Structure 1
Amino acid sequence: MQPECIRPQLCFEGLGRRSVVGRFDGGRLTTDGGVLLLREVDRRFRVTERLA
């Protein structure tokens, strides 16, 4: 049995009535997925607020 190093999915803050989920199962890829991840990290840890 191989260890599971990453969670199977990440839930982000929704956009309006839509939910945003990041999955790591090799499905469809999008080039702007990194932007959503950066936005969520910034909202949780207030990175840009601390740099200002």
Structure 2
Amino acid sequence: MYNIESQKEQEINRMVTILQQIDVSDIELLTRDANTLLMRKKREEMEGGSQKTG
């Protein structure tokens, strides 16, 4: 479990380093894309849960 958290922390730090080097407009695009991916994931989880129960 600790290894996963350590890898996650390293990846976050890597992303922060990258984000510090790009423009605000690019960060806004990445944020939009990330939000889209999160919404898709949540929708898939909800649809998967409703199929298992129904």
Normalised-by-shorter TM-score class: 0.3 to 0.5
Flag the structure with larger Rg: 2
User: Could you say which structure has the higher helix fraction?
Assistant: 2
